[in-house]
Amino acid sequence: METAISAEGLRKRYGDHQALNGIDLEVPAGSILGVLGPNGAGKTTTVRILTTLLTPDEGRATVAGFDLATQQKQIRANVGLTGQYAAVDERLTGRENLQLIGTLLRLGRRGARARADELLEKFDLTAAAGRMAKTYSGGMRRRLDLAASLVAAPPVLFLDEPTTGLDLTSRLALWGMIKEQVHNGVTVLLTTQYLEEADQLADSIVVIDKGLVIADGTPDELKRKVGGERLEVTVATDADLAAATRVLAELSSGEPTVDQETRTVSVPMGGGVSTIAAAALGLERLGIEPQDFAVRRSSLDDVFLALTGQPGAAPATEPTPAGDPAQPKEMQAA
Contact residues: another protein, CB under 8 A: 44, 48, 51-55, 73-74, 76-77, 79-81, 83-93, 96, 100-101, 103-106, 132, 148-149, 152
Provide, rounded to whole angstroms, the least separation between the CB of residue 55 and another protein: 7
Provide, rounded to whole angstroms, the least separation between the CB of residue 91 and another protein: 4
Provide, rounded to whole angstroms, the least separation between the CB of residue 282 and another protein: 55
Closer residue to another protein (CB): 116 or 205:
116
**Cα–Cα dist 21/72, whole Å:** 22
Closer residue to another protein (CB): 61 or 148:
148
Closer residue to another protein (CB): 35 or 81:
81
Residue count of the chain:
334
Closer residue to another protein (CB): 53 or 226:
53
**Cα–Cα dist 177/129, whole Å:** 18
Provide, rounded to whole angstroms, the least separation between the CB of residue 234 and another protein: 43
3-class SS string, 200-260: HHCCEEEEEECCEEEEEECHHHHHHHHCCEEEEEECCCHHHHHHHHHHHHHHCCCCCEEEC
* DSSP track, 133-147: GGGS-HHHHHHHHHH
Beta strand 264-268 pairing with 229-234: antiparallel
Provide, rounded to whole angstroms, the least separation between the CB of residue 251 and another protein: 50
* CA atoms within 13 Å, Cβ hemisphere of 54: 20
Closer residue to another protein (CB): 91 or 246:
91
